[in-house]
């Protein structure tokens, strides 16, 4: 499969703290990669660097074979190709669900209002919110808001979707609804990199799992191997905490 996201020798420090250390990672087109690991490992930082929300200190990031060059790349155009969903939904409270979804594409893409409204209705239906297009975010449950945030990211037709602990603010029932949407996207072939603490979900959905600690990939492999038979002591200890 062709490469979608490639990180080559990426390093990143905050002050004296080295958060990513010569990180190498390739995500292929259509691949679903989960990143797991302890708090502070640098998981969110990886996603933020891929999305150019954080500058890297050294190394290279390629998106679909094209180098992100901090001096030359138009960062807005670059970001339009990447969908990012956070733990906190960041919807605009004063806009309806439909307008939250259509806002960016109407500003940035050449689609007409009519086309975008139809597309928004389709996307909202695909995340199970056909009846909420005219609602405001504060009229929705947390799980519904998060599904709007996913629809909003998809409205830009991203090449890759980055998901940072998108269910950690939700109770278990709402988590299930959101994970169902993500798993549908995986089946449709969406390339995704997700940071998650949902171990069972990561096992079901991922093509590959990376265990990350102190800015490095400590272990990686297919979910069966990582979750059932990790070879690294640190991975074993981390996963043991989830089985208690």
Ligand X SMILES: Nc1ncnc2c1ncn2[C@@H]1O[C@H](COP(=O)(O)OP(=O)(O)OP(=O)(O)O)[C@@H](O)[C@H]1O
For residue 36, give the H/E element and its range. Answer: strand 32-36
Using CB under 6 A as the binding rule, whether residue 50 contacts ligand X is answered as: no
Picked from ligand X, Mg ion, none, the partner binding residue 4 (CB below 5 to 8 A depending on kind) is none
Q: Which of residues 63-82 bind Mg ion (CB under 5 A)?
A: none
Judged by CB under 6 A, which stretch of 39-47, 98-106, 122-130, 183-191 contacts ligand X? 39-47
Phi, psi of 183 (to 5 degrees): -70, -35
Tokens of 194: 């997700």
Judged by CB under 6 A, which stretch of 36-44, 76-84, 116-124, 186-194 contacts ligand X? 36-44
Picked from ligand X, Mg ion, none, the partner binding residue 34 (CB below 5 to 8 A depending on kind) is none
Using CB under 6 A as the binding rule, whether residue 146 contacts ligand X is answered as: no
Q: Is 93 exposed, middle or buried (0-12, 13-18, 19+ CB in 10 A)?
A: exposed
At 48, is the secondary structure helix, strand, or coil? helix
Picked from Mg ion, ligand X, none, the partner binding residue 45 (CB below 5 to 8 A depending on kind) is ligand X
Query: Residue 65 and residue 225: Cα distance in Å, rounded?
Result: 29
Pairing of strands 160-164, 82-85: parallel
Instruction: Please state the closest distance from residue 134 (CB atom) to ligand X, in A.
Output: 34
Among 23, 31, 33, 44, binds ligand X (CB under 6 A): 44
Q: Locate tokens 């990199």: which residue?
A: 193
Neighbours of 126 (CB within 10 A): 17
Using CB under 6 A as the binding rule, whether residue 167 contacts ligand X is answered as: no
Using CB under 5 A as the binding rule, whether residue 51 contacts Mg ion is answered as: no
Tokens of 22: 């010569």
Query: Residue 140 and residue 77: Cα distance in Å, rounded?
Result: 31
At 87, is the secondary structure helix, strand, or coil? coil
Number of residues this chain uses to bind Mg ion (CB under 5 A):
2
Using CB under 6 A as the binding rule, whether residue 43 contacts ligand X is answered as: yes
Number of residues this chain uses to bind ligand X (CB under 6 A):
10
Using CB under 5 A as the binding rule, whether residue 44 contacts Mg ion is answered as: yes
Using CB under 6 A as the binding rule, whether residue 114 contacts ligand X is answered as: no
Using CB under 6 A as the binding rule, whether residue 45 contacts ligand X is answered as: yes
For residue 67, give the H/E element and its range. Answer: strand 66-67
Binding residues (CB under 5 A) for Mg ion: these are 43-44
Binding residues (CB under 6 A) for ligand X: these are 14, 17, 19, 39-45
């Amino acid at each position: 499969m062709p490469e979608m996201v490639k990180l080559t020798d990426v390093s990143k420090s905050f002050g004296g703290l080295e958060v990513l250390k010569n990180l190498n990672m390739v995500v292929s087109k259509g691949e679903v990669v989960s990143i797991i690991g302890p708090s502070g490992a640098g998981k969110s930082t990886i996603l933020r660097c891929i999305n150019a929300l954080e500058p890297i200190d050294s190394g290279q990031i390629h998106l679909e074979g094209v180098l992100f060059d901090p001096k030359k790349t138009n960062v807005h155009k670059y970001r339009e190709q990447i969908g990012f969903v956070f733990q906190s939904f960041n919807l605009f409270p004063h806009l309806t669900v439909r307008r939250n979804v259509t806002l960016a594409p109407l500003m940035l893409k050449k689609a007409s209002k009519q086309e975008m409204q139809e597309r928004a209705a389709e996307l909202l239906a695909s995340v199970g919110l056909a009846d909420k297009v005219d609602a405001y975010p504060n009229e929705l449950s947390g799980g519904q808001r998060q599904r709007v945030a996913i629809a909003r990211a998809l409205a830009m037709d991203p090449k890759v979707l980055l998901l940072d602990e998108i269910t950690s603010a939700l109770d278990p029932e709402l988590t299930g609804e959101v994970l169902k949407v993500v798993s549908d996207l995986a089946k449709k072939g969406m390339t995704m990199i997700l940071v998650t603490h949902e171990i069972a979900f990561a096992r079901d959905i991922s093509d590959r799992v990376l265990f990350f600690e102190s800015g490095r990939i400590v272990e990686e492999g297919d979910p069966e191997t990582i979750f059932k038979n990790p070879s690294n002591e640190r991975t074993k200890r981390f996963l043991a905490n989830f089985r208690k």
